[in-house]
Amino acid sequence: MGEASDAVQKMFISYNNIHKSCQKIAIQIMAKGERPDVIIAITGGGMIPARIIRSFLKSRGQKNIPIQAIGLSLYEDLGLDDHVDTIGKEVIRTQWLDFGSLEQHFDSLIGKRVLIVDEVDDTRTTLHYAVTELEKEVKEQQIKLNRTNEETVFSIFVLHNKDKPKKAALPAEMMNNDRYLAAETVPDVWLCYPWEALDIEEHTELAIKQGNN
Amino acid sequence: MGEASDAVQKMFISYNNIHKSCQKIAIQIMAKGERPDVIIAITGGGMIPARIIRSFLKSRGQKNIPIQAIGLSLYEDLGLDDHVDTIGKEVIRTQWLDFGSLEQHFDSLIGKRVLIVDEVDDTRTTLHYAVTELEKEVKEQQIKLNRTNEETVFSIFVLHNKDKPKKAALPAEMMNNDRYLAAETVPDVWLCYPWEALDIEEHTELAIKQGNN
């Protein structure tokens, strides 16, 4: 990729920083009285923030919020550079909701508050796909079960939103009602998440130096 | 639970400690040449170690190992004490493998190395259930697809194995072939994972004091 990518600034983020980001957003959600009924983690990136935020969305005596995982990946062109993922156009679905198991213990997503979680909103392609497909499936189920009068509310939580032109949009209704929750909005830098660190002590020190602890 | 539970010792574990545990086990797996073809995370607890260990199971130029999530919970009796989970007998399945999406991009589990990940091996009930059900499903698929000659190899990775009497067993073949991988074996203490911490700075300090950083 040459000089352009060499010059990309690296932002180091510690685990404790991520923990605090999840806590911050959870406090906002609870203050609005919008505790989700189910969390949908986009694997792999969404798994860590999803598990952390769940802790803070639990009130004393309440049950854990169920987590469902969906596997979404963008086709990557790995030929150009080992470090820079070239964003593809198509989303690959490697796992979807298990409505069978979900309904048995949980009913369905119809009429529920659903929090979709991922690590980063880069081009917005994956999040767009997730919301669009989930909304479509819920509507189909509503018609099938004759429950079209119930409102399902989707929110999104990401650790980082990159301030850059997006390739896809999210529903205006979601954006206008503060249901798109990014813990931090950052420039289009290279985000170094702790779970990729070969030396976590050094990584944490760099994050602290950058104020990301 | 009275005095007995009040006296339970708390073990504080930092995020960086968990990161290093994942790294340590990944190095062992790679040294044996047993890189998994798929990781199965038991939600919620297995999500964080599963995502972290994936980073270290990747060689330069290789694709990310796909992660599938399965949701397994034990019935909990929440009536007795807010802090102590009473272990129930039945496992609740809230999500299962999505063989439909999985096969489309990945074939199936038949003939693969499968790494099952959870946070803690307490009574072994959940892990027993996971291995038993996964083995059963793979065998059924093998018969259905006439591929009974292929060997599927299951391994387990947990952050902590509690040294206590277990209520269920894992396959002897797995135990005898070092395919049960616990990063730490600990006494039957109260494990304080960082993702449950209300004050992560204080939690991390306590972990460092206990040498769990």
Query: In degrees to the nearest 10, what's the CA dihedral of B23, B28, B34, B39?
Result: -30
Residue B78 confidence (pLDDT) above 50: no
Least confident of A70-79, A121-130, B17-26, B159-168: A70-79
CA B4 distance to own-chain centroid: 28
ipTM score of the complex?
Answer: 0.90
Domains and CATH numbers, chain B: 16-78+86-186 (3.40.50.2020)
Task: Give the residue-averaged pLDDT of B165-179.
Answer: 95
**Inter-residue contact B187 to B10 (CB < 8 Å):** no
Angstrom distance (rounded) from CA B87 to CA B67: 27
- The residue annotated as part of the active site, out of B122, B163, B178, B188, is B122
pLDDT band at A75 (very low <50, low <70, confident <90, very high): low
3-state secondary structure of B84: coil
Helix (H) or strand (E) holding A181: strand A180-186
Which of chain B's residues have a Cβ under 8 Å away from the Cβ of A16?
15, 200-201, 204
Cβ-Cβ pairs closer than 8 A, A with B, add up to 143
Tens digit of each residue's pLDDT (9 = 90 or more) over A89-145: 578 888 998 877 766 666 789 999 999 999 999 999 999 999 999 999 999 989 999
Q: What pLDDT shows up at residue A90?
A: 76
- DSSP secondary structure string, A5-42? HHTPPEEE--HHHHHHHHHHHHHHHHHTT---SEEEEE
Query: Under an 8 A CB cutoff, do A16 and B200 touch?
Result: yes
3-state secondary structure of B159: strand
Angle (CA) A39-A45-A49 rounded to 5° is: 50
Chain B: closest CA distance from residue A58 (Å): 10
Q: What pLDDT shows up at residue A45?
A: 92
Q: What is the pTM of this model?
A: 0.91
Angstrom distance (rounded) from CA A54 to CA A35: 10
Search chain B and give the residue with CA nearest A98: B95
Angstrom distance (rounded) from CA A66 to CA A97: 12
Which of chain A's residues have a Cβ under 8 Å away from the Cβ of B16?
15, 200-201, 204
CA distance between the termini of chain B = 30
